[in-house]
Amino acid sequence: MTELKNDNYLRALLKQPVDYTPVWMMRQAGRYLPEYREVRKDAGDFMSVCKNAELACEVTIQPLRRFPLDAAILFSDILTIPDAMGLGLYFETGEGPKFERPITCKADVDKIAVPDPEDELGYVMNAVRTIRKELNGQVPLIGFSGSPWTLATYMVEGGSSKGFTKIKKMMFAEPQTLHLLLDKLADSVISYLNAQIAAGAQSVMVFDTWGGVLSPRDYKEFSLQYMAKIVDGLTRHNEGRQVPVTLFTKNGGMWLEDIAATGCDAVGLDWTIDIEKAKARVGDKVALQGNMDPSMLYAPLPRIEQEVSKILAGFGEGGTGHVFNLGHGIHPDVNPEHAGHFIESVHRLSKPYHK
| Domain residue limits, the chain | 30-274
Task: List the binding residues for substrate.
Answer: 27-31, 77, 154, 209, 328
**Residue numbers annotated as active site:** 27, 31, 40, 77, 154
Average pLDDT over residues 210-219: 97
Report which DSSP code applies to 144. E
b/e code 107-135 from CB counts within 10 Å (16+ = b): ebbeebebbebeebbbbbbbbbbbbbebb
Average pLDDT in the chain: 96
According to the CATH classification, is domain 30-274 in 3.20.20.210? yes
pLDDT value of position 307 = 98
Helix locations, 136-205, DSSP H = 148-157, 165-173, 175-199
Q: What is the pTM of this model?
A: 0.96
Predicted confidence (pLDDT) per residue in 70-128, tens digit: 999 999 999 999 999 999 998 877 778 999 999 999 999 999 999 999 999 999 999 99
Residue 276 CB neighbour total at 10 angstroms = 14
**258 exposed, middle or buried (CB, 10 Å; 0-12, 13-18, 19+)?**
middle
Pick out the residues of the known binding site. Answer: 27-31, 77, 154, 209, 328
